[in-house]
Amino acid sequence: MMIKKLTNWGLLLAVLGLFSCSNSGKTGTPKGQVSIIPMPVSVKERQDSFLLDKHTVIFARNEEGKQIAVLFNSWLKELTGYELELTDKIPGDNGIIIETAKDTLQPEGYILGVSNKGIIISGSPAGAFYGMQSLIQLLPTEKGSSLIIPGVDIQDNPRFAYRGQHLDVCRHFFSVDFLKKFLDLMAMHKYNTFHWHLTDDQGWRIEIKKYPRLQEVASKRKETMAGHYEEPGKYDGKPYGGFYTQEQVKEIVKYAADRHITVIPEIEMPGHALAALAAYPNLGCTGGPYEVGTRWGVLDDVFCAGNDSVYTFLEGVLDEVLPLFPSKYIHIGGDECPKVRWQKCPKCQARMKQEGLKDEHALQSYFIQRMEKYLNGKGRQIIGWDEILEGGLAPNATVMSWRGIEGGIAAAKQHHDVIMTPGDFCYFDKYQSKGKNEPLAIGGYLPVSKVYGYEPVPKELTADEAKYIKGAQANLWTEYIGDSDYAEYMEYPRAAALAEVLWSQPAQRNYDNFVERLKVHVKRLDLKKVNYAKHVFEVSGTPEDNKKGGVEVKLDAKLDGGKIFYTTDSSAPTPQSQAYTAPVQVLKTGVVRAQVFQDGKPFGNEYNQPFLFHKALGKKVSITPDPEPNYNPGSSFALVNGIQGIGTYNDGQWFGFKKDFTATVDLDSVQEVKMLGTNVLSIKTNWIYAPKVLTFSASEDGKTFKEVYKQTAFSQNGINQVRTVITPVRARYIKMTAQHFGMIPAGAEGAGNPAWLFVDEMIVN
Ligand code: TNX
């Protein structure tokens, strides 16, 4: 048993008849009312149950336990209108016992036992708190139903010590009430760290008394960009602003601490600093004038690294921040800091000379290390985004790996702590459905299932290095998220999925089982009036190789009582359309449309997938080299599945490379080929460049290939469609080669890094 001190507990457990008898329940497969998210380490269902009523009492031996009791009562009150009495005596058979001890072996573990004799929760203060959260999840979800709690023996503790959620309150501001609800939901899902992104180009949101212009100037912007930042030009003309007073900050930090959540503030430096520069222009390299940011993206004006008053200013800010936040860690940003101003700034150049710094990356590293030293001197540790690796990592820094997993791997190999937040899995500002009715989001595609499938420990690490991966975090950047309803929509249920990634054991993760539990769990979110997204329950389609040289679409909907109907003639599906019974075969160019109906009414978005029918559909393709992680490594099917990638590169269709690539398709027999095609992407802001050269060649025997087409210019920003009618050739094999662009040129975003090459669908007719 995980608890070290067993004072009274063995006795109590025996009295309650818990953990003593084996039972017929199965471990890890909840049924009925036992649907806890995140899934505990061990759940044994018992035959009996506990009936909670107005006469049930709660006994807690110490203050921490009493606090847990109070929080349990507040949930109960919402559900039933009444609260339970707290008693000083160990209750008989109608009581809940909360036992907490500080010196447990599992700092966040707990035991929860429910039988017809009573309920016991035991663990560390945090553990018992999580035990209470699990108990809440055993309560019925309908108001007014009798409170029968299923008998269980649960033993539980988290897989990762750092389980975080981040909220950007700069691009849009969120009220204290909303933050409290946000924290309640975090606690419900056993998250323990709130990363509060408090300063950025478009707004400074924490009161700093020493620098009143942060409140007067930096907290306000004159207007906000309307629409997406890749189509700039439109602004809403409305002033926008807000900041939290130090009293409000204290209130939030206390509210979080009561829920065993640590708040880590982020004060961004040296980039994302425009709001502060607008207030104090002497802190920038050019001296301004500056305006608080009104558009999104990466802006050139950053803190001057050569000017000592910048460090004095930031130390002054931190001197007020530190007493508000007892956290061991302070996040100092470090991301997306363009070096163009520093390159031309006499002070920055002088600093580089004086410190013997070889380039501006080393200057950034100097900046971060100097601030780290200051914070270490105050007993704090820094966290920074993965750019802090460039130019040399500060000695004690923890790295947040956001641009992928590489930063995390590099930091762990240098024996630095890491928090994983790779954009492809942890950025909840991305779309979660490809449906046409989604509100504007930053781009990309991150459905709940993909979040659920995330594994925070990169396989590139040895067991020893893996210990530096402390956990992961969901990030909610709010450029396009203007209100709390939309924030909740983006956060849940994706945050429920990540909670399970972080808390539960990998062997217990099972998406279908998660969705079954989620059906119950969303009723709890309903009770809390959470505006969660419902995409998980709508119809989804999975194109698959039909093993007969073609493609079929498997349709599925996880909606209770849902019936799927579909069409292939581009008409809208209705309950009179074809009912779905078996995978839909793709036999022509056209669109497969499907909708799930509940009680005759359509639920959620429809599945609407155009397919291009061609000779290579579902055929065998070999690709070299293997695509980069996340962009179809290990499987070539998406290159010939009839679906063309859309404008966002991470929609699952695109094959991503950082080298030249070749794909060869085998059409099964020699045929006449008259037309060839593919799509390549060019989105320079995302480091994606079209190939230098694209060629097609044809062969009858797979050995001798003859070039039949060559293209060297791709003018389109976005998707470049290559479609070419050729002099007909007889061929069984078609080879496509793409020559990689090379390094990203100076002056462009990502300069000096290898460009990305993205290709999708190899079209043969
Ligand atoms: C990158 S993630 C940023 C943020 C943006 C976000 C949008 C990071 C460290 N920096 O400033 O809001 O992308 O997804």
The catalytic position among 45, 99, 201, 336 is 336
Pairwise CA distance, residues 737 & 675, whole Å = 16
Cα 74 from chain centroid? 30
223 among known catalytic residues: no
**Residues linked to residue 676 through DSSP beta bridges, in sequence order:** 724, 764
Model pTM score? 0.86
Distance 272 CA to ligand 1 centre (A): 10
Residue type present at position 266: E
Protein residue with least CA distance to atom 12, ligand 1: 477
Question: How many angstroms separate the CA atoms of 472 and 400, rounded?
Answer: 9
Whether 299 lines ligand 1, by a CB cut-off of 6 Å, is: no
pLDDT at 435 over 90: no
| Helix and strand totals (H; E) in the chain | 18, 33
Amino acid found at 373: K
Average pLDDT on 273-290 reads 98
Contact by Cβ (8 Å): 760, 654:
yes
Region 359-376: mean pLDDT is: 96
Ligand 1 atom at minimal distance to the Cα of residue 168? 12
The Cα-based distances of 247 to 171, 195, 243, 662 in angstroms read 22, 18, 11, 61
- How many A from CA of 462 to the centre of ligand 1? 29
Atom of ligand 1 nearest to the CA of 272: 11
Average pLDDT over residues 267-292: 98
Candidate of 336, 421, 424 to mutate for ligand 1, largest count of ligand atoms within 8 Å of Cβ: 336
Reported as a pLDDT band with limits 50, 70 and 90, residue 32 is low
Nearest to 322, CA basis, from 417, 256, 249, 397: 249
What's the average model confidence in pLDDT over 108-117?
96
Task: With a cut of 90, say whether residue 377 has pLDDT above it.
Answer: yes
Ligand 1 neighbour 654 (Cβ under 6 A): no
Q: How far, in Å, CA of 546 to CA of 534, rounded? A: 30
Residue with tokens 């009161």: 207
Quick check: 740 and 757 in contact, CB under 8 A? yes
Asked if 408 and 458 count as a contact pair (C-beta separation under 8 A), the reply is yes
> CA 71, CA 74: separation in Å to the nearest integer?
5
Rounded CA-CA distance 393/388 in Å is 6
Evaluate if residue 231 carries a pLDDT over 90. no
Q: Say what the pLDDT of residue 27 is.
A: 31
pLDDT tier at 230 (50, 70, 90 boundaries)?
A: confident
Q: By alpha-carbon position, which residue is closest to atom 7 of ligand 1?
A: 477
pLDDT at 33: 65
Q: How would residue 356 be classed by pLDDT, with cut points 50, 70 and 90?
A: very high
pLDDT of residue 326: 98
CA distance 644 to 638: 9
Q: What is the mean pLDDT of residues 150-163?
A: 97
Banded pLDDT at 692 (limits 50, 70, 90): very high
Note the pLDDT tens digit of each residue in 667-679.
999 999 999 999 9
What whole-number distance in Å separates Cα of residue 712 and Cα of residue 714? Answer: 7
Taking the C-alpha atoms of residue 365 and residue 334, their distance in angstroms, rounded to an integer, is 9
Mean pLDDT along residues 301-312:
98
The 3-state DSSP class for residue 341 equals helix
Residue 763 confidence (pLDDT) above 80: yes
- Segment 610-639, tens digit of pLDDT: 999 999 999 999 999 999 988 998 889 999
Q: Is 296 in the pocket of ligand 1 (CB under 6 A)?
A: no
477 lines ligand 1 (CB under 6 A): yes
Among the listed residues 272, 521, 535, 614, the single catalytic one is 272
pLDDT tens for 708-734 read 999 999 988 999 999 999 999 999 999
d(CA 635, CA 623): 9
Ligand 1 center from residue 215 Cα (angstroms): 23
pLDDT at 146: 86
Q: Above 80 in pLDDT, residue 31? A: no
Phi, psi of 305 (to 5 degrees): -90, -5
Question: Of 355, 351, 354, nearest to 341 (Cα)?
Answer: 351
Q: Each residue of 451-474: pLDDT tens digit?
A: 999 999 999 999 999 999 999 999
408 sits in which H/E element: helix 406-413
| Integer-rounded Cα radius of gyration of the chain | 29
Residue 428 Cβ inside 6 Å of ligand 1? The answer reads no
Output the CA–CA distances (angstroms, integers) from residue 365 to 305, 376, 608, 610, in the order listed.
10, 16, 48, 49
CB 480 near ligand 1, within 6 Å? no
Ligand 1, atom 14, residue with closest C-alpha: 477
Per the annotation, the verdict on 361 as an active-site residue is no
Q: Residue 277: which H helix or E strand, with range?
A: helix 274-279
Provide mean pLDDT across the span 72-87. Answer: 93
What pLDDT sits at residue 48? 94
Judge whether 738 and 693 are in contact, CB under 8 Å. yes
pLDDT at position 651 is: 78
The pLDDT confidence band at residue 310, using thresholds 50, 70 and 90, is very high
CB of 204 within 6 A of ligand 1: the answer is: no
Please indicate whether residue 552 is annotated as part of the active site.
no
In angstroms, what CA-CA distances link 363 with 326, 359, 390? 30, 7, 10
Residue 145 confidence (pLDDT) = 79
The token duo for 464 is: 């020893």
CB of residue 268 inside a 6 A radius of ligand 1 = no
- pLDDT tops 90 at residue 153: yes
Q: What is the pLDDT of residues 694-703, one digit of tens each?
A: 999 999 999 9
The answer to whether the CB of 18 falls within 8 A of the CB of 131 is no
In angstroms, the CA 140 to CA 27 distance is 21
Q: What is the mean pLDDT of the chain?
A: 93
Distance 473 CA to ligand 1 centre (A): 14
468 lines ligand 1 (CB under 6 A): no
Check pLDDT > 80 for residue 3.
Answer: no
- The separation between the first and the last C-alpha atoms of the chain, rounded to the nearest angstrom, is 66
The phi-psi region of residue 634 (left if phi > 0; otherwise alpha if psi is between -120 and 50; otherwise beta) is left
Looking at the chain, the whole-number percentage of residues with pLDDT higher than 90 is 86
